[in-house]
Amino acid sequence: MPLGSAETVALAGMMGSGKSTVARELSRLLGRRLVDTDAEVERRARRPVAALFAERGEPAFRALEREVVRGLAGPLVVALGGGAFCDPGNAEHLIRVGRVIFLDVSAGEAARRMGGGGGRPLARRWEELLRARLPLYRRASLTVPVDGTSADAVARRLAALLGGPA
């Protein structure tokens, strides 16, 4: 089904699924502005996510993330933080303003891509988080398996599915 001109496309999934990398290429292919929610949280907090977690805890991070997500609307491509779509209010907002695509990655592929966690505060709890988040991710409009597929190939596939250039 073709993407509406004002719809937001949000990429959800676990750490290491390629959300940020796929979103960059998809925004280029669709000619839409890119928003990375973790980068926006860092900009607002004036510190990296890892430092925000260490200094103020996950609740402070999630509060800033909610502000960012609930302000999203319009013709955007959004790379969500791994837990952003799991917040019920965030999910409701994102579903209302556009399409959410779940990038489904296996634990092995995610570990390979992250190379030891890459400074991500929740990386050591990856499998536990997946068990909790998977039913929530399944609310997305579309699920795309990403194991063994380059970010460019995933972005081209999504562009084609959304009615943009492939």
Question: So what's the pLDDT on residue 139?
Answer: 93
The pair of structure tokens assigned to 3 is: 């993407």
Whether 154 shows a pLDDT value over 90: the answer reads: yes
> What is residue 19's three-state secondary structure?
helix
The pair of structure tokens assigned to 147 is: 């194991």
Task: List strands edge to edge, sheet with 33-36.
Answer: 33-36, 76-79, 8-12, 98-104, 142-145
Question: So what's the pLDDT on residue 65?
Answer: 96
Average pLDDT over residues 89-117: 87
The pair of structure tokens assigned to 161 is: 């599915």
Question: So what's the pLDDT on residue 2?
Answer: 73
Question: So what's the pLDDT on residue 107?
Answer: 79
Least-confidence region, from 62-66, 107-111, 120-124: 120-124
111 contacts: CB under 8 Å, gap ≥ 6 = 16, 126
* Per-domain residue ranges of the chain: 8-161
Q: Which tens digits make up the pLDDT trace of 100-113?
A: 999 999 877 887 77
What's the predicted TM-score (pTM) here?
Answer: 0.89
Q: Which CATH number fits domain 8-161: 3.40.50.300, 3.20.20.70, 1.20.1050.10, 3.40.50.150?
A: 3.40.50.300
